[in-house]
Amino acid sequence: MTTEFQPGLVIQGFTAPLPLSRFKVIAFDMDSTLINIECIDEIADAAGKKAEVSAITEAAMRGEITDFKDSLRRRVALLKGVPATFLEQVWTERLRLNPGAETLLAAVHAAGLKSLLVSGGFTFFADRVRDRLKIHRAQSNVLGINAAGLLTGEVIGDIVDGAEKKKQLLLACEQAGCTPAESIAVGDGANDLPMMGAAGLSVAFHAKPKVREQAMVAINEGGLDRLLDVLR
């Protein structure tokens, strides 16, 4: 059963509101969920390749490219030679928290939930967003930077994809001593679906159609704090 709980707030498969106290863990995607941009697209702007990179990003988030790791490697390769100083410029000039992020995080922390940021984006941004929102832990990808301070066009180490996002959610539940049914997962793209499917409550935030259709809560208008209309 699908119901428009309030304008721009759709729920399916349960009756709202739910008690916030039933949950112990909340996991968030970063790009276009906690923050207003896709960081890799903005970095690509420095290389004059934003349109090319954005097209791959959009296809991956819609689920049209099923191998996220391959799509990320292809996009990062296009960043080779971009000065690493541009990361700071993106952080300072372009990146903003999405509306309601601070309110939602403050509320779930006050209720005792453990928070997780798990992103297919990059540590430069994810670690800073983690600290700004006081999120307990973050997991993301590492961009290669050479001695000259230029991006190498490579991702260092294992890539955080949809399967890894699910793995990190389950690990957070294990560490919190709870079951996955006591967790919430919030995202907007196809690579968020594995962790959203494992969580007790899945939340799509201004998401791609494929993600909205599968989520238990779809926030289509307003900020992240609209989730608090569902959780009391």
The mean pLDDT of the chain is 96
29 belongs to the catalytic site: yes
31 belongs to the catalytic site: yes
Nearest partner of 125 among 109, 115, 140, judged by Cα: 140
The ranges assigned to domains in the chain are 2-37+97-149+156-229
From the list 31, 41, 161, 192, the catalytic residue is: 31
For residues 104 and 225, the answer to whether their CB atoms sit within 8 Å is: yes
Q: What is the pLDDT of residue 141?
A: 98
Residue that is written with structure tokens 């294990």 in the block: 174
User: CB within 8 A of 94, min separation 6: which ones?
Assistant: 37, 42
Q: What is the pLDDT of residue 46?
A: 79
The Cα 156–Cα 142 span in angstroms is 5
Residues facing residue 12 across a β-bridge: 2
State the amino acid at position 142 in one-letter form. V
pLDDT in tens, 94-150: 999 999 999 999 999 999 999 999 999 999 999 999 999 999 999 999 999 999 999
Residue 171, pLDDT above cutoff 70: yes
CATH topology of domain 2-37+97-149+156-229: Rossmann fold (3.40.50)
The Cα 128–Cα 117 span in angstroms is 11
Question: What is the band of 65 on the pLDDT scale with cuts at 50, 70, 90?
Answer: confident
The Cα 220–Cα 226 span in angstroms is 10
In degrees rounded to 5, what are phi and psi of residue 155? -100, 130
Residue 48, pLDDT above cutoff 90: no
Q: What is the pTM of this model?
A: 0.96
From the list 29, 41, 161, 225, the catalytic residue is: 29
Q: What is the pLDDT of residue 1?
A: 66
DSSP codes of every residue in the chain: -EEEEETTEEEESS-S-B-GGG--EEEE--TTTTBSS-HHHHHHHHTT-HHHHHHHHHHHHHTSS--HHHHHHHHHHTTTT-BTHHHHHHHHHT--BPTTHHHHHHHHHHTT-EEEEEEEEEHHHHHHHHHHHT-SEEEEEEEEE-TTSBEEEEEESS---HHHHHHHHHHHHHHHT--GGGEEEEESSGGGHHHHHHSSEEEEES--HHHHHH-SEEE-SS-GGGGGGTB-
